[in-house]
Amino acid sequence: MKTTLTLAALASMALAAGCATKKGFEQPGFAFGCPIGDTKVSSMDDLVKAKTAMEGKRTTIQATEMRCTKAGDLMKIDANLNNDSSTVKRIAYKFRWIDREGMRAWEEETWKPLMLYNNSNLMINGVAPTPKAVDFRLILMSQE
Amino acid sequence: MRTYLVLIAAATLAAGCAKEVTSYGDARGIETVSNQFGSTDLQMIAEAMARSMQQSPAIVSGNLPIVTVQEVKNKTSEYIDTRAITDSIRSELQKGGKVRFAVDEVAMGQQVGEIKRQQSEYYARENAVEKGQMVGAQYRMEGNITSIVKQVRDTKDVYYKFNLQLWNIRNGLLEWSDEKEIRKTTTKG
């Protein structure tokens, strides 16, 4: 009886562990819905690091979360920007769209100015202009 | 007196020698020369509206729906070339490949003129376009831009609201609508 209970407990633990290592219904080559290709992404931080770039004057504003989904055949991105400083920050951002071959899928977007209150988060979103865009980079620049 | 004259002459000379420098800039960069409607506002509006409209059920479910561009009314107190905004939206949508555009009211004169020209005795009959072959639009795009301007001493605040709508011509239903808001504040000093 004791052996049966132990075996059942072990089996349920193994099952639970197996489920825990699976990333939900994530497709291979995707993390949090976002395309990652061959890049090793094991956490949200890894994803944000892989998908965010800074140009021009650097800003202390950080993307802290990023999720991607599909709106019809277009890629849709939600990114959370965090201002953990005690002052209002002004930045500009844009998305850069990349096609299957790693080339630009669309012309350079316009810089979009943004104001973030002190100690605050702001969700920005972007929609790919074309179904050819299968990857992206979020570009940030300080406006101060 | 003589000293003053020398100073004035030196100042004039310096002003004359002041070099004018011209350089190319980023056409998609942020323009903050004044708080009037500018290139960044136009580009942001066009991009936001086109991307939003591309996701609307009328566009997604339709098989390359045909749209005609109507007027965007300028209800602000400043001069804004609203045609430039709709032209940018149309270009972005056209490049996206999900929408086709029918000739609009503004271009109709030219379109009819060209058909008439081709039907004149100067053109070969077999290649000339026939009358009655133009395709009517299923949807019409129209909108308006409004602003609220407030100024107190050295601070001027401008708020723009751009609203765009997509109407079904057949049944008169509003299929899609979206807004883009922009706030700009200028402080002197």
Taking CA–CA distances from B29, the nearest residue in chain A reads A111
Say what the pLDDT of residue B62 is: 79
Kindly tell me if the per-residue pLDDT of B28 is higher than 80: yes
Q: What is the pLDDT of residue B56?
A: 92
Within a domain: A43: yes
DSSP structure string for B45-106: HHHHHHHHHHTSHHHHHSSS-EEEEEEEEE-SSS---HHHHHHHHHHHHHHHTS-EE---HH
Domain extent at residue A112 = 26-142
Query: Is A11 among the domain residues?
Result: no
Residue B5 vs residue A26, higher pLDDT: A26
The beta-carbon neighbor of A110 closest among B28, B52, B96 is: B28
pLDDT by residue (tens digit) across B40-62? 999 999 999 999 999 999 998 87
Q: Are A127 and B52 in contact (CB < 8 Å)? A: yes
- Asked whether the beta carbons of residue A129 and residue B60 sit closer than 8 angstroms, the reply is no
What is the pLDDT at residue A16? 47
Please determine, for residue A87, whether its predicted confidence score (pLDDT) is greater than 90. yes
Whether the predicted model's global pTM rises above the 0.90 cut: no
pLDDT of the residue at A17: 46
Q: Which of A71, A110, A143 sits opposite B47 (nearest CB)?
A: A110
Domain assignment present for A12: no
Contacts of A112 in chain B (CB under 8 A): 44
Confidence at A88, pLDDT banded by 50, 70, 90: very high
For chains A and B, CB pairs below 8 A equal 39
Query: Which chain B residue has the Cα nearest residue A92?
Result: B30
Mutate to test the interface with B, among A110, A130, A136 (most CBs of B within 10 A): A110
In a mutational test of the A interface, the residue from B54, B64, B180 whose CB has the highest number of chain A CBs within 10 Å is: B54
Query: pLDDT for B113-159, tens place per residue?
Result: 999 999 999 999 888 999 999 999 999 999 999 999 999 999 999 99
Shortest CA distance from A127: residue in chain B: B51
Indicate which CATH number applies to the domain containing A98: 2.60.40.3230
Rounded Cα distance between A130 and A35, Å, is: 16
What is the predicted pLDDT for the residue at B17? 65
pLDDT of A23 higher than 60: no
pLDDT for A4 beyond 70? no
CA distance B30 to chain A (A): 6
Better pLDDT: A73 or A142? A142
Neighbours of A109 (CB within 10 A): 19
Domain locations in chain B as residue ranges: 33-102+137-187
Mean pLDDT of chain B: 90
Q: How many angstroms separate the CA atoms of A47 and B139, rounded?
A: 40
Q: What percent of chain B has a predicted confidence (pLDDT) above 70?
A: 91
Supply the pLDDT for residue B165.
96
Number of domains, chain A: 1
Query: Is A18 domain-assigned?
Result: no
Q: Which of A111, A129, A143 sits opposite B28 (nearest CB)?
A: A111
Task: Check residue B170 and give its pLDDT.
Answer: 95
pLDDT greater than 50 at residue B24: yes
What fold does the segment set B33-102+137-187 form as a domain?
Rossmann fold (3.40.50)
- Are A107 and A73 in contact by the 8 Å Cβ rule? The answer is no
